[in-house]
């Protein structure tokens, strides 16, 4: 019997696993996808909002403020990037100026430093601000991260500290019993004392398996984005928001940690929980709305578009509580500012529900994550050293992002390692550049096949059963080994 089963390996589940792994306990994380961090964590705005925006007294406000403060040290611990680039909320009319003033006061109350600035000062910070912007709320604390890399790093560390992770396991049934729970997936049956539901868009379904009631209802909301190439990296330097409305934060312009720019998201409700396709109308909406806040948008640098489903809920606040069934904990409806709140949510769950119920002792020897080599970010001397140690770091596979074979092999061999083309792309970036994998994908497929001991035609693109190649030519069958 496990001590804890975590359902769902998004950033919330991964960080809970990470926090639990600091204690002596048996933790198993079940993920229905072929990789962790493959849904909402993979497709969001990647911003660590400072926390002045959520309504007073909401769990969102509390978690966001506390979560944002934890990010710098968490990212240091996990050895992933955190960049505090600051943000600007823009107002185009007097009404919106009032909104900015309200946010400014709210920030002050919450101990977050913000500044109201006029158009002239704004233009010294950003060139491509739309002509009708009159005022801005400047917040230096706002940061950006690569959300999936945080989740992967957290999971990798958790696994180095005895946490287990099973991919491609979809939870089909949960039975509450005297001393714990039986959790059934399509392949296996597991048992645990505590079950933590971090199933994102499916959290209501998972809850229903245990409580047999519709305690809450997850409403998938789709957000569509464009990605601009690094050629456009000078377009903006800060996170640019329109003035928020009741509907949400609106369409943003966001620099990424790696020098791309995101435009988005759209926001449309939908029923289908699997459909994260992009649409003509959604992408058109992003183009239309983004023009409100910025000008000279370098659309010719668009290299990719994607969409993600956010797990919203009618009450518009996070659900972090024990369900009506003891020891079954819901961590649900984590939509914006879920990313910024994640470290605080994970901490709250572990403090309030894990440590109070299980008598756990802290690990004496906690294995910290060893940072992966990123050749593109190394000095010449460092590159020399790494290549001397392992020549594969000298063989560049992805020319756009300058990713070496050594980095790709490393990300497959690590704990919580990559099992698909997308999983490699998420971890070390081949295919994230301008050619979108046109040149490097065949090479990545070869490396994955060799490392996993399978045929190239068995190498998945993303989900299990999604190979790019269907067979060998000439009717030849792969000879293993």
Partner 1 sequence: MIKEMVCIVCPMSCRMQVEMDKKKVVSVSHNGCVRGVKYANEEMSNPTRMVTSTVVLKNAALTRLPVMTASPVPKRKVADVMKQINKVKVKAPVKMYDVIIENVARTGVNVVASRSMDAIK
Partner 2 sequence: MRKVDCVIVGGGSAGMSCAVAIARFGIKDILMIEREKELGGILNQCIHHGFGLHIYKKECTGPEFAQLLIESVKKYHIDIKLDTTVINITEGKKVTYVNEDEGVVEVQAKAIVMACGCMERSRGMISIPGDRCGNVLTAGTAQRYLNIDGYMCGKRVFILGSGDIGLIMARRMTLEGAKVLGVAEIMPYSNGLSRNIVQCLEDFNIPLYLNTTVTRIIGHPRLERIELSSVDENLRPIKDSEWSVAVDCLLLSIGLLPDTSLLNKLNVERDPQTRSVAVNEAFEMSLSGFFACGNVLQVHDLVDDVYLEAEVCGREVARYLHDGFVDEEMVHVCAGENVAHVVPQRLRKENMQDDCRFSFRVKKPMRDCILRIRSGENILREVKKRVMLPAEMEKLDLEKSMLMGAKDLVFEVKEDV
Catalytic residues: 49
Side-chain half-sphere CA neighbours of 314 within 13 A: 5
The answer to whether 461 contacts partner 2 (rule: CB under 8 A) is yes
The bridge status of strand 328-332 relative to strand 189-197 is parallel
- Looking at residue 294, what DSSP letter applies? B
The answer to whether 470 contacts partner 1 (rule: CB under 8 A) is no
Q: For residues 225 and 219, what is the distance between their CA atoms, to the nearest angstrom?
A: 19
Name which position in 76, 395, 413, 450 contacts partner 2 (CB under 8 A). 395
Element (H, E) at 154: helix 147-160
Q: Helix (H, G, I), strand (E, B), or coil: what is residue 222?
A: strand
For tokens 């933590």, what's the residue? 196
Please give the residues from 219 up to 248 whose contact with partner 2 meets the rule CB under 8 A. Answer: 226-227, 230-231
Please give the residues from 120 up to 139 whose contact with partner 2 meets the rule CB under 8 A. Answer: none
165 binds, among partner 1, partner 2, none (CB under 5 to 8 A by kind): none
Side-chain half-sphere CA neighbours of 64 within 13 A: 29
Name which position in 475, 477, 480, 481 contacts partner 1 (CB under 8 A). 475
User: Which of these ranges, 21-29, 173-181, 288-296, 395-403, lies near partner 2 under the rule CB under 8 A?
Assistant: 395-403
CB 168, min distance to partner 2, A: 11
User: Which of these ranges, 155-163, 298-306, 339-347, 352-360, lies near partner 2 under the rule CB under 8 A?
Assistant: 298-306
The answer to whether 268 contacts partner 2 (rule: CB under 8 A) is no
The answer to whether 462 contacts partner 2 (rule: CB under 8 A) is yes
The answer to whether 476 contacts partner 1 (rule: CB under 8 A) is yes
Strand partners, 362: 23
- Measured on CA atoms in the order 22, 27, 31, 34, is the torsion positive or negative? positive
Strand partners, 144: 47, 83
Please give the residues from 335 up to 394 whose contact with partner 2 meets the rule CB under 8 A. Answer: 375, 380, 383-384, 387-388, 391-392, 394
Which tokens hold the place of 416? Answer: 């919580």
CB 423, min distance to partner 2, A: 12
Q: For residues 234 and 25, what is the distance between their CA atoms, to the nearest angstrom?
A: 47
The answer to whether 480 contacts partner 1 (rule: CB under 8 A) is no
For tokens 């969102």, what's the residue? 60
User: Which of these ranges, 115-123, 275-283, 431-439, 472-480, lies near partner 1 under the rule CB under 8 A?
Assistant: 472-480
Contact 10, 37 (CB under 8 A): yes
Q: For residues 1 and 180, what is the distance between their CA atoms, to the nearest angstrom?
A: 9
Name which position in 124, 300, 380, 473 contacts partner 1 (CB under 8 A). 473
Which tokens hold the place of 458? Answer: 């068995």
Name the residues that contact partner 1, by CB under 8 A. Answer: 473-476
- Chain positions contacting partner 2, by CB under 8 A: 226-227, 230-231, 274-280, 282-283, 302-306, 375, 380, 383-384, 387-388, 391-392, 394-396, 399-400, 402, 421-422, 433-439, 441-442, 446, 456-457, 460-474, 476
């Amino acid at each position: 019997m496990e001590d804890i089963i975590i359902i769902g390996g998004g950033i919330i589940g991964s960080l809970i696993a990470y926090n639990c792994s600091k204690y002596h306990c048996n933790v198993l994380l079940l993920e229905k996808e072929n990789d962790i961090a493959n849904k909402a964590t993979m497709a969001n705005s990647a911003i660590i909002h400072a926390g002045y925006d959520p309504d007073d007294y909401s769990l969102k406000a509390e978690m966001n403020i506390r979560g944002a403060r934890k990010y710098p040290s968490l990212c240091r611990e996990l050895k992933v990037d955190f960049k505090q680039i600051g943000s600007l909320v823009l107002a185009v009319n007097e009404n919106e100026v009032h909104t900015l003033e309200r946010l400014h006061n709210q920030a002050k109350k919450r101990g977050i430093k913000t500044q109201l600035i006029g158009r002239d000062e704004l233009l010294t910070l950003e060139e491509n601000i739309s002509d009708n912007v009159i005022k801005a709320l400047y917040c230096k604390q706002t940061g950006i991260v690569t959300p999936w890399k945080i989740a992967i790093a957290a999971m990798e560390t958790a696994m180095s500290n005895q946490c287990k992770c099973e991919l491609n396991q979809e939870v089909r049934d949960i039975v509450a019993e005297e001393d714990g729970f039986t959790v059934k997936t399509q392949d296996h049956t597991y048992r645990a004392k505590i079950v933590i539901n971090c199933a994102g868009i499916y959290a209501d379904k998972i809850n229903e398996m245990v409580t047999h009631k519709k305690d809450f209802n997850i409403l998938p909301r789709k957000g569509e984005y464009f990605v601009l190439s690094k050629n456009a990296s000078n377009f903006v330097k800060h996170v640019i928001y329109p003035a928020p409305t009741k509907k949400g934060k609106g369409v943003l312009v966001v620099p990424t940690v790696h020098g791309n720019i995101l435009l988005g998201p759209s926001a449309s409700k939908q029923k289908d929980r699997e459909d994260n396709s992009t649409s003509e109308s959604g992408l058109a909406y992003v183009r239309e709305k983004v023009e409100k806040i910025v000008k000279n948008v370098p659309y010719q640098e668009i290299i990719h578009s994607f969409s993600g489903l956010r797990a919203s809920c009618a009450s518009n606040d996070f659900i972090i509580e024990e369900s009506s069934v003891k020891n079954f904990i819901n961590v649900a409806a984590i939509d914006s500012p879920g990313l910024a709140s994640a470290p605080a949510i994970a901490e709250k769950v572990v403090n309030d529900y894990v440590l109070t119920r299980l008598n756990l002792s802290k690990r004496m020897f906690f294995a910290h994550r060893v940072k992966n080599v990123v050749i593109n970010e190394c000095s010449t001397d460092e590159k020399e050293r790494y290549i001397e140690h392992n020549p594969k770091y000298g063989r560049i596979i992805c020319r756009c992002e300058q990713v070496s074979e050594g980095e790709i092999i490393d990300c497959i061999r690590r704990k919580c390692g990559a099992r698909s083309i997308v999983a490699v792309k998420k971890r070390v970036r081949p295919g994230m550049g301008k050619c979108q994998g046109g040149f490097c994908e065949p090479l990545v497929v070869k490396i994955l096949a060799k490392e996993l001991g399978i045929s190239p035609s068995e190498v998945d693109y993303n989900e299990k059963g999604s190979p790019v190649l269907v067979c060998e030519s000439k009717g030849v069958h792969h000879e293993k080994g």
